[in-house]
Amino acid sequence: MAYLSDPKETIAVLNRYGFAFKKRFGQNFLIDAHVLEKILNASGVAAEDTVLEIGPGIGTLTQALCEKARKVVAVEIDQTLIPILREDTCRQYENLTLINEDVLKLDLHELSESLGGCSFQVVANLPYYITTPILMQLLERRVPVKNITVMVQKEVAMRMQAAPGTKDYGALSLAVQYFAKPYLAANVPPNCFLPRPTVGSAVICLTPHKEPPVFVADEAFFFSLIRASFGQRRKTLVNSLAGAPSGAIPKERTLAALSQMGLLETVRGEALSLQQFAQLSELLA
């Protein structure tokens, strides 16, 4: 069998089916065997594992996952790709289940129950336009995921693992790190895809925490506080929270909380760690 990490084979399949790329689905197919190997190594997928793949495309990563895992469930939104996967590139894999659906509309807890209630791995070359919604759905809803290994836009990967005080640090950094431990496994240049994206990519691994690293009594308030803190990065934290559209917090309250935490009244949100945001949330709530 010719693997789809060979660009010539990928082009042959596309021509055979007259496939046209659809910008609205953010389709960029991986055509580099070395990157494929890096994804597999980073994921640690083994023979006993069940894997959820989001956006299999024509099956480049799917083929490799089916050969390593016990079971693979691939969710593809583009119905024109289903015949390619089912009748051609992945027809020989009996351990593959294809679902033609928008993953954001799937009940992933229900999917987990259909797989026997076991925890599964997520391995995917994610469509970049819905990277954050997909990952936050997996993390916030506490879907029983063992780990997540995904290809994302490099800029997004840098934000996920960013530390306080850096230019990439923001609300996404805090949200991801509250739920999981991020690890950047590889950088991937545009020439590894067909068609070539205009931005660099990266493989990032997320290992969900069994329990969040900080205690927060009210998660909804905690995350609204974080979003408000980064709404206008040039503003001080006090002013950002005072003008928050989700619910203004009086300056006096924020100043009192910062004083109790030993922080200056001129501090900005980008300077606070996850632990400090948790403490501030408890003081203000």
**Which of the four pLDDT bands, split at 50, 70 and 90, describes residue 231?**
confident
Query: Residues 37-72: pLDDT tens digits?
Result: 999 999 999 999 999 999 999 999 999 999 999 999
DSSP string, 62-98: HHHHHHHSSEEEEEES-GGGHHHIIIIITTT-TTEEE
Tally of domains within the chain = 2
Per-residue pLDDT for 1 more than 50?
A: no
Per-residue pLDDT for 253 more than 50?
A: yes
* Parent domain of 202: 7-208
The last residue of one of the domains, among 208, 228, 243, is: 208
Picking from 15-19, 115-119, 135-139, which range would have the lowest pLDDT averaged per residue? 115-119
Domain assignment present for 187:
yes
Cis-peptide, bond into residue 144, ω within 30° of zero: no
Q: What is the CATH number of the domain that holds 262?
A: 1.10.8.100
In eight-state DSSP terms, residue 54 is E
pLDDT above 70 covers a percentage of the chain that reads 99
Residue 41 shares a structural domain with residue 151: yes
User: Exposed, middle or buried by CB within 10 Å (0-12, 13-18, 19+), for 65?
Assistant: buried
pTM score over 0.85: yes
Residue 132 shares a structural domain with residue 156: yes
